[in-house]
Structure 1
Amino acid sequence: MARMVQTVGLAVGGRPGSRLLRQLGAAVERTTVLSRVKALPIPATPRVRVLGVDEFAIRRGRTYATLLCDVETRRPVDLLPERTADSLVAWLAAHPGVEIICRDRSSVYSEGAKRGAPSATQVADRWHLLQNLTAAVEKTAHAHRACLRKAAEPLAAPGADQEPDAPGGSPIEDGLPPSDPPGNQLLARTRQRHADVLELLDQGHTMAATARILGLDPRTVKRFATEDLENMLASARDRRPAKIDPFKPLLQARFHSGCHNANQLFREIAERGYPGSHQSVRRYVATLRSGTADLEERRVVPSPRQITGWIMRSPSSLSEDEQQRLKQVMESCPDLSIARELAGDFHAILRRRSGQADLADWSQQVLEHGSRPLQGFAAFLQNDWDAVVAGLSLPWNSGVVEGHVTRVKLIKRRCFGRASFGLLRTLVLAQPP
């Protein structure tokens, strides 16, 4: 009976375990289930040769702890109640023999590993390196949005070539980015918020106080305070086009030719594949009647995130349309073309595990020819060079630790966040994964 109570408690926790045991014919309170679980002996820490280190949140944004795993056996070996270098140093001193330490780019664990096991080889996780490179490529795409807008192609209206040119209508000019539509609320709100944030900060308010006054998230305030207004406006202009946008040239031509009935116009574009609602057509026709409609063709400008995804993904995974659009982006922006080549070379180094031989040359090319964000990434690698080279040369990585962090999160949620650290440690270490 005691073994059954312990097994159920390890599997589902105290309160759910008590309910399950009642169905099995054992009336046991949740406190008894938890006391049996807490009485389980923690397995002795084995000798670890390849150690994986990562953090997890006890209380997100406030309290963090450390998870240690044996990468070779793929099992957790200990939980530390802190995320500090001193706690890792103390654990390594009590458990000698660690030869390789897999970690992310955290300076806390880098310092702890250097002090606690100076002879051990530190390995930077490859996934985090790719994440940092992706962020640098996306910043490059953000910085070159203007040349993408100039080279963007206007949306073609399905069946628009079947309609005659509108008499007296002005032709749509190509080559220049569209001006801001009249009454665009998103652009107006972006300008106003940018001005409000800068005004409050100039008055001496902190970012937290500014966020409270304006009712914004602190991260939003930080973005308005640090990012250039033109970049934010360009990002707002490059939002995903509405369903009606490809059909606006046709609606304009029909309207200027004398058809002002929104119902008739809706039926005509619906026959040509318009997937949107009747209300969208009515609203746009109303702007044509009032003379406030934007008569410029909206241009297809891929977002920086889209461009980053095309660059960082394998070419074989891209569709024909994505390959064509990426080719247009590369032809319109030389810096993005260089960023794509450098990102592809970094992927090749990662796949071949040739960091020891090729990473130095790649870093030099980035510093000479890459964009400013990529140069910042390459310079950042210099601060942790030995661990980065090891991460791109050795077969070890932190994937096992990341998986166990997910498992710890599952156990925390199962306990509704009320379990003490001691009980959480028992649930993680005493139960086989």
Structure 2
Amino acid sequence: MVTSVDTAGPVVVLQARTRFEESSACTGCRELSNRVHSRYTRRLADTAIGGRPVRIELQVRRLYCENPVCPKATFAEQVDGLTVRYQRRTPLLQRLVEIAGVLLAGRGGAQLLRLLNAGLSRTSVLAQLMKMPLPTPTAPRVLGVDDFALYGRNYGTLLVDEETRLPITLWEGRDAETLRDWLLEHPGVQIACRDGSPIYRQGLTNGAPDAIQVSDRFHLWQGLSRRIQQIAAAHRDCLTAGAHEPDRRPPAGTEPQGTDSPANSPAADHAQRLFEAVHALTDTGRSYNSVARELGLNWRTVRRYATATSWQDCVRRRPRIPSPLDRYLEYLQQRWGEGEHNAKVLHEEIKAKGYLGHYQRVKMAVAPLRRGLPINQPHQRRLSPREVARWITTSPPNRTLDTVERLQRLLTHCPELDQAHTLVRAFATMFDTADSEPPTGVAQPTRDQPPTRTAQPRQSHPRGPTGRDPGHHLALQLRRQRRPHHRRQTPETTHGRPSEHPTPAPTSRPHRPLTPTSRWIEQTI
């Protein structure tokens, strides 16, 4: 019962006591007792009232336990819904602290509790979070398996319930045996989402042989993006000729030829010699690793020089930093041709047009014109295959105006990339509509056509009403899954660095046959 309420200070203090005539259950044997040993005051923090913190000063009794076989001689009475043993917060406030810790962790949870006038430090929030019991892991109907980077080259495995999007468990390492053992201990998985790694494929096949293995939206789109990047890398000449602005500079004969030109620099000479040495060895059929050991280079450097079409592609050039003056260079060139050679006047003119830079920048920009040289026009840096793949896979409404213009020039110049762009947009339409049928106008391979990779028939899974494997429908139904971090493996290869030798397929179970959707992707792209 409440005896008094003090609202004079910054904290609302409620003073209360328990009823003397009521009995209380022993915390050891649960036998009732009302024989009083002593009394003391407990101070409990409660949720705020009217934006002010609350403290409850509760006077409780210590009672004797009259059960001779009970290990406790005395015990403190507890009030249901208000007190908990060894707890200085009410259950309501304790529940609020736990929710803040689960949702926002330590620092964020402490900031939220401070706004709710229940201040706790981040370490206290984390301590309460670590005391919470973990939920019992149950086998979900749809299981997501992926890896994540711990530190350096050490990776772990993460299991996620794809229906609730909540993590289930994780462990260090990414081997098939651990995944198989977990699946055997938690049966009931019907659908398994994974990447293209054969390690997880083997673990799922051995641990859940009846589960349908599919790829989620992210891994399908990631594999397609890598394929587009390979296509763009095979057309590097088109990237240079099709995506750059037309060169407005005078012919090369009008420019001064000196030792500062890229063709005469030491870096260019080194790149040319290295390009000739690498191609002299790789053209004979030698592997990248053997060439790297002979030349004392990294195998990635050998691959970069071996796949380049000319030594100029291997020269590292410092990219030009964009300047706010770039948009006014054409106007400065025009005014200079009209006879205005005063840099101060030119600065005032472009300042009226919105230029906020200093006069010295304008003076340095028109300095080449005083010597009879062309103005330093900005040039777009050379495109990379990864950038082109990002342009093609980006949804058209999300592209910038500059990206739309440069991509249009590139697709006009290269018909192969234009065809790849058309297929990617068709594939994106299949994702958006969750339809496994190719769009109208795109050729669909028949079932009689042989797939591009070796596949053995599988007899255990039933077919749908149309004779198709139900896995390709489920891959499109699992839309917009959460994206785990650090996916560096390539499809159907080992994690990390690509292996030069193909990994043998697991012998315990034959491969799943290619679905019509996968055949269409393999044979069109």
What is the TM-score normalised by the length of structure 2?
0.51
Q: Could you tell me which of 452, 477, 481 is aligned with 1:395?
A: 477
Quote how far apart the aligned CAs of 1:89 are.
Answer: 0.8
> Which residue in 2 is equivalent to 1:83?
174
Return closer, same or farther for 1:155/1:353 CA change in 2, 3 Å cut-off: same
> Which residue in 1 is equivalent to 2:367?
286
Contact 1:50 1:101 survives alignment (8 Å): yes
User: Using the alignment, how far apart are the partners of 1:356 and 1:250 within structure 2?
Assistant: 53
Quote how far apart the aligned CAs of 1:82 are.
Answer: 2.4
Return closer, same or farther for 1:81/1:135 CA change in 2, 3 Å cut-off: closer
Aligned residue runs from structure 1 range 91-170, under 5 A:
91-141=182-232, 143-144=234-235, 146-147=237-238, 150=241, 152-154=244-246
User: Using the alignment, how far apart are the partners of 2:257 and 2:479 within structure 1?
Assistant: 50
Larger helix share, 1 or 2: 1
* Runs of 5+ consecutive residues of structure 2 not aligned to the other structure: 1-86, 278-290, 459-467, 488-525
User: Using the alignment, how far apart are the partners of 2:273 and 2:367 within structure 1?
Assistant: 33
Moved more, 252-261 or 87-96: 252-261
What is the TM-score normalised by the length of structure 1?
0.60
Q: Could you tell me which of 36, 51, 54 is aligned with 2:146?
A: 54
User: RMSD of the TM alignment (CA)?
Assistant: 5.4
Moved more, 339-348 or 130-139: 130-139
Quote how far apart the aligned CAs of 1:98 are.
Answer: 1.0
Quote how far apart the aligned CAs of 1:396 are.
Answer: 2.1
Bigger CA radius of gyration: 2
Q: Answer yes or no: is 1:330 the counterpart of 2:411.
A: yes
For residue 83 of structure 1, what is the amino acid of its counterpart? R
Q: Secondary structure at the match of 1:345?
A: helix
Contact 2:215 2:475 survives alignment (8 Å): no
Q: Secondary structure at the match of 2:193?
A: strand
For residue 44 of structure 1, what is the amino acid of its counterpart? T
Quote how far apart the aligned CAs of 1:193 are.
Answer: 7.2
User: Using the alignment, how far apart are the partners of 1:302 and 1:93 within structure 2?
Assistant: 52
User: Using the alignment, how far apart are the partners of 1:32 and 1:298 within structure 2?
Assistant: 54
* Runs of 5+ consecutive residues of structure 1 not aligned to the other structure: 157-170, 209-218, 366-377, 406-433
Q: Secondary structure at the match of 2:313?
A: helix
Return closer, same or farther for 1:180/1:316 CA change in 2, 3 Å cut-off: farther
User: Using the alignment, how far apart are the partners of 1:274 and 1:380 within structure 2?
Assistant: 59
Q: Could you tell me which of 422, 434, 452 is aligned with 1:353?
A: 434
Q: Answer yes or no: is 1:191 the counterpart of 2:268.
A: yes
Quote how far apart the aligned CAs of 1:29 are.
Answer: 12
Residue by residue over 1:305-349, the C-alpha shift from the partner in whole angstroms, topping out at 9 and shown as x without a partner, is 665454333344556776555443332222221121111122123
Contact 2:161 2:168 survives alignment (8 Å): yes
Equivalent pairs, count: 353
Q: Answer yes or no: is 1:70 the counterpart of 2:172.
A: no
User: Using the alignment, how far apart are the partners of 2:347 and 2:261 within structure 1?
Assistant: 23
Moved more, 78-87 or 265-274: 265-274
Contact 2:326 2:378 survives alignment (8 Å): yes
User: Using the alignment, how far apart are the partners of 1:236 and 1:333 within structure 2?
Assistant: 25
Residue by residue over 1:42-83, the C-alpha shift from the partner in whole angstroms, topping out at 9 and shown as x without a partner, is 322224221111222332x23222221222333322222322
Aligned residue runs from structure 1 range 375-394, under 5 A:
390=472, 393-394=475-476
Q: Secondary structure at the match of 2:344?
A: helix
Larger strand share, 1 or 2: 2
Return closer, same or farther for 1:73/1:330 CA change in 2, 3 Å cut-off: closer
Q: Secondary structure at the match of 1:78?
A: strand
For residue 481 of structure 2, what is the amino acid of its counterpart? G
Contact 1:103 1:123 survives alignment (8 Å): yes
> Which residue in 1 is equivalent to 2:134?
42
Greater relative CO (CA pairs within 8 A, separation 6+): 1
User: Using the alignment, how far apart are the partners of 1:196 and 1:298 within structure 2?
Assistant: 30
Q: Secondary structure at the match of 1:58?
A: strand
Moved more, 279-288 or 235-244: 235-244
Q: Could you tell me which of 370, 379, 394 is aligned with 1:313?
A: 394
For residue 53 of structure 1, what is the amino acid of its counterpart? V
Contact 1:104 1:124 survives alignment (8 Å): yes
Q: Secondary structure at the match of 1:65?
A: strand
Residue by residue over 1:79-107, the C-alpha shift from the partner in whole angstroms, topping out at 9 and shown as x without a partner, is 22322211101101111121100122333
